[in-house]
Amino acid sequence: MKKLLLSLILFFSNICISQWHYQSSAPPAFISLNKVYFINNETGVIIGEDGNIFKTTNAGIEWKNIPITTSNKLNDIHFYNDKYGIIAGSRSPSGDEFPRVLMTTDGGETWKEKYHNTKSGYTSFKGAFMLDSLTAFIVGDKAFPTFPKPDYEKGIIFKTTDGGETWVSKLNAQNNISIYGIYFTNNHIGIICTEEGTIYRSIDRGENWDSVKNYGKPLRSVSFRDSLNGVIVGGWYKDPIIIKSNDGGNDWSTSDISTNEALIDVEFFNSKLAIAVGSNKSVYKSSDNGNTWSQLLFLGEGVSNSFNGISISDTNTITIVGIDGQVLRSVNAGNDWHSLIRGHRFSLNSVHFLDIDFGIAVGVNSTILKTIDRGLNWTKQNSGESQSYWFNDIDLYDNSVGLAVGESGVVLKTIDGGNNWKKLNVSTDSWLTAVDLYYPDIGIISGFNGTLLKTSDSGNNWIKVNSNTDKNLLDVCFLDSLNLIAVGDSGTIIRSTDGGLNWQENNIVSKEQIISVCRLNNQSAMLAGEDQLLIKTTDKGNSWEKLVAGFGPGVSITDVSFIDSLRGFLITNSGFICRTNDGGISWTREYKSISLTAICMIDSTNAVAVGPGGTILSNIQSNVSLNDEKIEAKDFRLNQNYPNPFNPVTYISYSLSNNSFVQLRIYDLLGKEVDVIVNQEQTPGNYKVLWKPKGLTSGIYFYRLQTDNFFFIKKMVYLK
C-alpha cells in the first residue's frame, strides 16, 4: 500500500494542524488595519488588531493571512528592502500577552518574534524603522493605564545591531513622554516624534537623541522624502498640525491645512507628492514640498472612523488602510480611488460543515455562502426571496437537505445541497434563532418569546408547541429522538422528553443569558452563555455542573461545538477560539480574533468559525491526504498555465497515468463556474488545451482538474 500526498497550490496560505487562518481574499471587515507597507507596486503587507498580518503579491487583488503566534495589536511596519522588515506591537488588550517585535527575512512570508520581555509591564511599541539588514529601532512608551489619559512613565527607544537578537535602550531618563514615530533620513540622522509634541534628533545612528523643539500637540508620524525634506503630522480634533523641515530635521515650521480632524499618518514621496490621512475619513495631499495641503478624499458618514496608514510605492500609486478593514488604492496620485476589498463582507451568524469539504454559512442581508473545497472558495447562493432577510442559523442533515431560519419567521429549505432554496410556511413572524434536524423529516426551531416550532413531515407543516416560557429562546437541540433541550434569556433551560411536544422548565442554574446548547451524546449536552457561563449535563438535563473556561469578567461564550463527549471548541465575544479534549474540564486557547458568532467542529482536528464582516476562520489543512493503492503524485500533474498573466489566450497542460473521467473547469474569484474546457473520459498521457475567455472581465480565475481519484486547483490572471 502506498500513501499519496497531493499538495494543492492554494491562494490563501500553507497551513498545518491547529493553525487558524482567514478564508478570505481580503482582510475581513471589523478588523482595524493600522499600517500598510508596499515593497513595490505588487507586494505589500498590512498589519492590524489581534496580531493580524495580510500580504499581497498581486497589487491587492488577493490577500493571504500570515499566521503568527501572538494576538497583540500591531502598530507599525517598515522594510529595509524586499527581504528584511520589522513590526512593532503593543501589549495585548486582555493583558495576557506582552509587547512584541516581529522581524522577517523573506519579504513578509514568515515572521519571527525578536523581543518578548515578560518584565516589560505596560510597555507598548508604537513605531519601528529598519536601517539595514541587522540594524533596527523600535519606539514607544512604558505607561500605567490611568483614566482618562495614560500616565506615561518614560519613553522607549530600543536599538538592535544583530538582527533583533539583542536590544539596547538608547533614550535615558526621558519621563512622561510617549514616542509614536521614527524615521531615518540617511544612515546617520534619525527623527522621532512624541505624544507630548517634542521632536528628538540623532546624528549618530540613534546612539544619542537631543530635543529639537516642542509644539505642545501630539505628533504621531514622521516621513522624509530625502535627507533634507521631511514632514510630521498630528494634533487633536479641531486642532491638527503639520510641520515641515528643509534641513534634515534641525529646524521646523508649520504648514497650512484646512481641516478639523487629527492627522494620523504621513508619507512624503517627492516634492510633488506627500499624503496624509486623518481621524475623520479624509486624505490630504501636498504638491509643493509640504507647504500647503488640500483634501483629496472624504468617505462620508458611516464608512470608516479613521484612516490609519499610508504607503506610496511610486509617483502614482498610493495605498491607505483604516478601521473596518478599509483598503483603498489610487493609481493616479490620489485623483481617483478604488477599494481593494473584494468578497463577502456581510456578517455571518451560523456555519455548518457536514464533512471537511462541504459547508454552508448564513448571515445578514440574505447571505448564504457555500463551499465544496474546504472553504477555499465560498459561493454566494440565491435565497430565492426578493426580500432581504437576517438569517440566524443553518442546519444540514446530509449533502442534500438543510434548513435556514431567521427574522420575521423566515424558514428556507434546500434539497439539493444549498444550490436552491424554498421558503416554507410556518405561520409565525417571530424572530427565529436556531434549528435542529434529527431526521430529514423531523426538526425543531426556536425563537423569541418562547417560540418553538416542530415538523414531522420534512417541513411541509409546522406546529407551534407550548414551551411554557415567554423568554427568548436562543438555541435548541435533540439529544435523541425523544429528549430535547432549549435555552435562552435569563438562564432559561427547558426540556422535552416526548420528542418536543411538551416542555418543562428546568431549575435555574444561572441567571445569565444562555446562548448556545450542543449535544455531546444521547445523555450529555454543553451550554454556554454570558459572563463565561459554561454548564454541562450528563443525565439528559436532570442535573447540571458548572465548568470553568478561564476567561475574565464580561466575556461571553457565544457558541460551543463538539464531535463527541470529549472533544470540542468554544468561541467568545472577545474573539478567543479554545479547544477541549476532556469534555470541557480544561480548555486550550488556540487563536485570538475579533468577536465570533458561531463555530462548527467538523472532525477530531478541524473546525470553522464565522463572525462579523464576513469573517470565516478555519484550521483546515490545505493538503489532501489519501490512503490507497494509487499512483505517486509526480505521475499525476496539473501545470501552471502559460502565459500567466495572459491576454487573449492561455494554455493549460496536465498529465494522466491511468484511464479516468476528466473535468477541467474554470471559476471566478467568487467561486462561480464560468467555463468547462474538458468533460470526458481520457487515457494516460500528456494533454494541452487552449482557453480563450469569452465575455469575462480582467482578474483572478481558478482552474480545477478533477479525475476519478484526485483534484488540483491553480490560479491564473487574465488581463483584458
User: In this predicted model, which residue has the larger pLDDT, 376 or 500?
Assistant: 500
C-alpha cell at 188: 546617520
pLDDT tens digits, one per residue of 448-467: 999 999 999 999 999 999 99
Which SS3 state, helix, strand or coil, does residue 673 take? strand
Strand partners, 294: 285
Is the CB of residue 509 less than 8 Å from the CB of residue 547? Answer: no
Q: How far is CA 418 from CA 170, 178, 201, 422, 720, in A?
A: 61, 54, 62, 10, 33
pLDDT tens digits, one per residue of 362-421: 999 999 999 988 887 888 999 999 999 999 999 999 989 999 999 999 999 999 999 999
Cis ω before 148 (30° cut-off from 0): yes
C-alpha cell at 349: 451568524
Q: Give CATH for domain 68-214.
A: 2.120.10.10
Q: Beta-carbon neighbour count of residue 203 at 10 Å? A: 15
* Of the listed ranges 213-222, 457-466, 483-492, 634-643, the one predicted with least confidence: 634-643
Burial class (CB in 10 A: 0-12, 13-18, 19+), 646: middle
The C-alpha atoms of residue 488 and residue 475 are separated, in whole angstroms, by 7
Percent of the chain with pLDDT over 70: 89
Q: What is the mean pLDDT of residues 221-243?
A: 96
The C-alpha atoms of residue 625 and residue 690 are separated, in whole angstroms, by 30
Longest CA–CA separation in the chain, Å: 84
Phi, then psi, of 445 in degrees rounded to 5: -130, 140
497-509 exposure pattern, b = at least 16 Cβ within 10 A, e = fewer:
eebbeebeebeeb
Q: What is the mean pLDDT of residues 590-601?
A: 89
Q: Which residue is listed with cell 506582552?
A: 98
* Of the listed ranges 409-423, 603-617, 640-654, the one predicted with least confidence: 640-654
Phi, then psi, of 475 in degrees rounded to 5: -160, 155
pLDDT tier at 80, thresholds 50, 70, 90: very high
CA atoms within 13 A on the CB side of 166: 3
Q: What per-residue confidence (pLDDT) applies to 297? A: 86
Q: What per-residue confidence (pLDDT) applies to 17? A: 34
| In the chain, domain spans | 68-214, 635-718
pLDDT tier at 218, thresholds 50, 70, 90: very high
C-alpha cell at 551: 476567561
Percent of the chain with pLDDT over 90: 61
Q: What per-residue confidence (pLDDT) applies to 46? A: 97
Phi, then psi, of 537 in degrees rounded to 5: -120, 145
List all residues 6 or more positions away from 617 whose beta carbon is below 8 Å from its beta carbon. 20, 21, 22, 23, 577, 591, 593, 596, 608, 609, 610, 611
Q: What per-residue confidence (pLDDT) applies to 624? A: 33
Architecture of domain 635-718: Sandwich (2.60)
pLDDT reading at 213 higher than 60: yes
pLDDT reading at 3 higher than 60: no
pLDDT tier at 281, thresholds 50, 70, 90: confident
Q: What is the mean pLDDT of residues 228-253?
A: 96
Is the CB of residue 181 less than 8 Å from the CB of residue 127? Answer: yes
Q: Beta-carbon neighbour count of residue 150 at 10 Å? A: 16
* Of the listed ranges 43-52, 232-241, 303-312, 633-642, the one predicted with least confidence: 633-642
Q: Which residue is listed with cell 431560519?
A: 405
pTM above 0.75, yes or no: no
Q: Which residue is listed with cell 468533460?
A: 679
Q: Beta-carbon neighbour count of residue 148 at 10 Å? A: 4
Q: What per-residue confidence (pLDDT) applies to 628? A: 30
pLDDT tens digits, one per residue of 554-568: 899 999 999 999 999
pLDDT reading at 9 higher than 50: no
Topology agreement, domain 68-214 and domain 635-718: no
The C-alpha atoms of residue 140 and residue 124 are separated, in whole angstroms, by 6
